[in-house]
Structure formats: structure tokens, C-alpha cells
Chains A and B, each alone.
Chain A
């Protein structure tokens, strides 16, 4: 029984949180932090926005800057905090975590540690504050950031054509003037079901 517990502990993101201090390594149950009825303050939202902006900066994957994605990001935050299960507890936890990391490493390196060196197993249940921050907030912000247009920066390395569509991207109806995808335009003699 004891052995099993040790194994579980190892796989549940409790021994891997080497980058943080007391806050990051505090253990929590793996489920969403209970926060029904709670809401975020303006300051909370600004602190979370900093995390979101840091994602765009770290991967250099926003065409102009993250502000283009701000309204979509707010809409997601609203959906996640005004409907059950409420993410407000996770968001506040993420602020605690990033504050500790910033105190330990400074702002720039704090995000570098969090995004690239956290040691968190993304597939294991999160059982520390750091793991909660990575899995419920950072990872979800990354998905949202790519969905909102961050994918467009890939594709131009060899002067190629930018991708135009990605899982979740709201690009407007396909009857507007912007082509929805990079389309194949065949020669006239090799694309029709023409007759011989």
C-alpha cells in the first residue's frame, strides 16, 4: 500500500516542482480549486493579462501584439468565471505562483521558467499550486492564444504563405472576401471531372 502511494505521488506532479518555492510547491487536490460565487478583480485580470502577453512574447507568435486578442481573451475569462465550474480560484492561484517566481527569478526569467522549465507533467493530475497554474491556466491560455491567431506566424520562415485557419479560429464567414484557407488551384486540365 505504501509503495503504491509513493508511485502515485511521483506521477501526480508533487516531486517535480523544482523551480518554485513554498507557494509553488504547496500541495492541492487535483480538481479545480473551488470558487463558486467568486469573481476576479480588475487587478486580477491585469495580472493574468501579463501571463497571456508573456506567451505571445516568449514564442514570438503574435503578428502585431497580443492586444489584438484581448477581447477574445476577456470573453473566455468571462465564460470561465461566470459559469460553473468557476475558474476564479485557478486564476488567483496562478497569480500567487507567478508572483513567487518573479520574486525568485525576476519577471523575464520567471516566465521562461514557467513556460519552458517547469518540470510539470502535462498529462498527470496537478497536485501543487505550480502544476495547477501550468495545467489550468498557462496551457489553456496557450491554446486560446493560438486559436485567436497566434498560429499565423508559422509558415513564413521560407517566404511561404501563412496558414489562415486553425482549430477554433473564428475567421468570419466563408462568404466574405478573405479566403479561408491556403487553397489548391490546379491547372485547368487536371482538376475537372471532364470527359474524354
Chain B
């Protein structure tokens, strides 16, 4: 079995797939090994899909963290169970594929508010890579939207608002609070209000609403990319090993990372493989645990952890959730897609950064009536008609931005999970001010529900979810304030990179995967530039040597 590669990538999700594809397309014979801890779960399988339809079962949920494998401490429960897929393809097996760019102010959170951190790069540094990421993921978006600067149109047109979105759109229009001074051109009073949710879907999407297990591959799944790479005869040195949890990164000096050690879960054997460059792309949970577990004579507290920052500054989103009820639903509306189509950035602007930005959207499933369940429960046609046109509930939800705090930390707890990875504990607390701000934001959402003529029947701040965890190996300008540099290279190493949400200094108020994909494209470009520089340097050296030899031979002649 081959044990020396140009690149070793730990983790088999979107970051790994994007990086591997970019490197291989640049140079076909690049040797790359991807090590994925989880198993392979077949995609686009008809039986799996019918079981999902008829029984609600999804084939990958057994890979989710269970409560005993991942828990939390602190003054608020941090949701760790059911948030990430540990399998070939990673969490893109189940993602909703909402693809929103971070906004310019997200890269300057500390400068703007005195809290959290700044990124060592700006939005402008990432903008072209966002274009690449949107094309790669096939993002369907509205080119008329102007809440963030963009140099290229979306690759695919947006999904239409559903009929049920209409009342909320009207409410947003009526509320003065939705009109914000535009960040893009301050003073121009750009209206930032109703928007169409940018969603990654290929053109072949049949909108089955079964995106959690798509029967036709209508939504990006990193598994498809990895399969294509494996089947492409040009990429003869590309390899993926599944059921292969990495538990140690090995260094031969302080700066030189030499290899990783993993266990083959099927045989129980342990292997060490060497790589010229090692990329940790195993997510914001696993990256910090792996770094801290990798202790050696050069890194006594784990690689990159000389300043005890690995795993700190955990950031996620809290979900604000307000439910309104109408006495009837005369049009028999329901959300006919299984994803949201209506969103607003009205409170996702620089002005709201200090208090905590929110990104609002109409819930992806309401209003809804599960007709089949009513039939299963033995309701008659007449009874179901009453329910379909009877009370209607609509949820408005929002992601609330949180700011990284030193004391909030994700780390390993004793024991391994079912896939041989260290178990997880998250220490996470909110301040009273953060709680107050969150509750204030809820009132905004309640206003919208009331403006729609609905009665507020529930209003709550849900616990922070691990789905969007970021910050645990964050980028920065020095080892004293961060774990990785502006290219996500671990400080004081030459060849160890983190390609993960873990490297994000802030989490904005939107989903992180598009930004992660853009960062992966940027990383590929960095590697290609490095290769080019090395080639040029070698060529120069050869030329220099030839010149010297010519001189010497000339002299001897």
C-alpha cells in the first residue's frame, strides 16, 4: 500500500473534494490521499429513497454524534447530536445547501465592534473565489439582489417564492424597520428586504422535497465529486481510504509535519502515511481535537497550540424562532418546497453587528399539513379537508450571529466514538447581554408575525446548534491571536493546513459552507502558486547551475 503522497487530506467532505479536484485539475498526476473516518453510504439508491418516503428513514443518520459521544457544559445547552454526518461526502450528505456569502463587515468584526475577531483577509480577497464556489456548487440565486458586491451573476436562476411567502413579504414591506442604509453604498438607501434564498441545486433538480436524501443527485454532494475523481483515468495517483480515522499528526521538526497515523477500522491495523503537505479538512469539531492530540517533542501541548488557543472561540448560530397562527388557511397553502425560498438581510448589516446580526427567513416547512399522516391516523376526507383549510401556522426564523469568546471551547473528552474519533465536549456560555440582545431580536420577529395578522403562539431562542460551528482553529495574524495564518496554514509550520470552518474567525449570520468552499478554492490557488514558485526556483537553480557549469567548462576549455 502506497504510503507517500504529495498531499494528505484528512476528512472527506466538501473542503476535501474541492481541494482535491482543484489540485488534480491543475496537475493530473498529483498524488493525493483522502482519509475519511466514516463509512461510505450509497447515494441515489432507490430503496433508500423509498424507505425515506415511506418510513422517514435516512441511511446516514446512524453516523450522527449521539448524546453519549458529544455533550456540552456551560449556561446553555449546545446542540451536538445530529448535526454532522461522519461519512464519505461528509455533511453534504444531508445539508440544506443554502449558499449565502459572508458580507464585507463579517471580515472586520473586531474593528467594527471591539468584540470577536477580524479576518486576516477581506471580502475583496475572497470575492472571485465566491464566484468559483457558486459555479462549483451550482447556486440558484437572484441577480437583482444587491446586498453584497459581486463580480459575476449567479450560475443558475433562483427558485420562486411560494404563494405562502406572500403575506410575509407584504409584512416586511410595511414595516419601516426593513429599510436600512445600504452598506455597499452608504447613503444610497438601498432597500434590503425580501430576497430569494440562494440555494445550491443542479438544473436537474425535481424539487421532490426529499433533499435530505436526493433520489437523483439534484443537489451538490461531495460524494459525487469524489466518485468522479476516483473514476477519472487521468488522476491515477488519487486515492480515498474510508473507515480510516486519523488520530495523530506527526512532526519531524517544529516546522516540518511529516505524516499522519490512522487506524483501519475494518482490520484494526494502524498505519502511518507520509505527505509533503497535510490538510486537515475534517471540520470544526475534529480539527482542534486532532491538533491537540498531536503532542510531540516539538509541540508539547499539541500542534499549533503553544498559546493554548486550539479549540477556543467556538462560534455558532442560535436560532430565533417565532410561530404565528391564523384561524384559517382558505387557500390551502403549504410550503411546497422543503427549503426556504424567502429571506431577508435587513438585520444582517454592519449597523446591527454590535448587537448581533440576524439573518431572517421564512421557515422551510410552514405552513404545512402532513396529509398522509392524517390518513394514516384514520382521519376521513372530510376531517382532513377541515384541517387543510383550518388553522395555519407560519414560522419566521433567524440565525443570530455570535462572537467568539476565549472561554468557549471545544475539546476531546475521554473515549472514542463508534468511528474511532475522540468524543467531544463543548464548553459554551452566553453572557446576559447576549441573552438580552437575542430576546430583543425576537421582538422584531414577533412584529413581523403580528403585521401578518397572525397571533404569536411561540417565541423562543433555540439552543446554539453545532451545524454551523466555526472558529476552533481560527485564522489570524500571529500565533498569539490565532492558530492559522491567512492561508489557513498552522502558525510555525511549513506544511500543515486547516481547510475547515474551524479556521473562520467569525461565523457571520449565515450558513458557512459557501464560504468554506470559496476558501478551499483560494487554498488551491495558494498551492498552485507555491508549486509554480518552486518550479521557477528549481528552473532558476538549474539555469544558475548550468551557467556555472558553462563558466567552469569555459574556464577549463
Chain A residues near B (Cβ < 8 Å): 55, 58-61, 75-76, 79-80, 83, 115-118, 122, 138-140, 142-147, 150-151, 154-155, 157-158, 160-161, 163-175, 179-184, 186, 190-196
Contacts and interface: CB of A to CB of B under 8 A. Distances in A.
B248 interface: no
Nearest to B170: A190
Given A79-B47, A116-B378, A193-B147, A169 B208 contact: yes
The 9 tightest CB contacts between A and B, nearest first, are: A165-B336, A140-B54, A184-B166, A181-B336, A182-B163, A183-B160, A155-B332, A146-B372, A83-B47
Contact of B160 (A138, A146, A181): A181
Interface string B384-396: 1100110000000
Interface of B: 46-47, 50, 52-55, 144-147, 159-166, 169-170, 173, 188-195, 203-210, 215, 330-334, 336-338, 369, 371-372, 375-378, 380-381, 384-385, 388-389
B210 A158 contact: no
A163 B189 contact: no
A83 B204 CA distance: 27
B378 A117 contact: yes
A154 B333 CA distance: 10
Nearest to A76: B50
B338 A181 contact: no
B336 A163 contact: yes
Contacts of B207: 165, 171, 174, 180-181
Contact of A175 (B53, B190, B203): B203
Contacts of A76: 50, 54
19 contacts: A60-B381, A117-B378, A122-B376, A139-B376, A140-B55, A154-B371, A154-B388, A158-B330, A165-B336, A168-B210, A173-B206, A180-B160, A180-B337, A183-B161, A183-B162, A184-B166, A186-B194, A190-B173, A191-B194
Given A182-B333, A183-B160, A80 B47 contact: yes
Contacts of B209: 165-169
Given A80-B47, A80-B50, A154-B388, A160 B161 contact: no
Contacts of B173: 190
Contacts of B54: 76, 139-140, 143-144
A152 to B, nearest CB: 10
Contact of A173 (B146, B205, B377): B205
Contacts of B50: 76, 79-80, 144
B53 A147 contact: yes
A174 B191 CA distance: 29
Contacts of A193: 144-147, 190-195
Contact of A182 (B146, B190, B336, B378): B336
A75 B215 CA distance: 13
Nearest to A182: B163
Contacts of A191: 169, 194
A21 to B, nearest CB: 20
A51 B249 CA distance: 59
A167 B210 contact: yes
Listed residue (A139, A142, A169, A191) with the most chain B CB atoms within 10 angstroms of its CB: A191
Contacts of B206: 170-174
Nearest to B333: A182
B137 to A, nearest CB: 17
B426 to A, nearest CB: 32
Given A58-B381, A163-B334, 11 more contacts: A61-B381, A138-B376, A155-B331, A166-B371, A168-B53, A168-B208, A174-B203, A174-B205, A179-B160, A183-B163, A191-B169
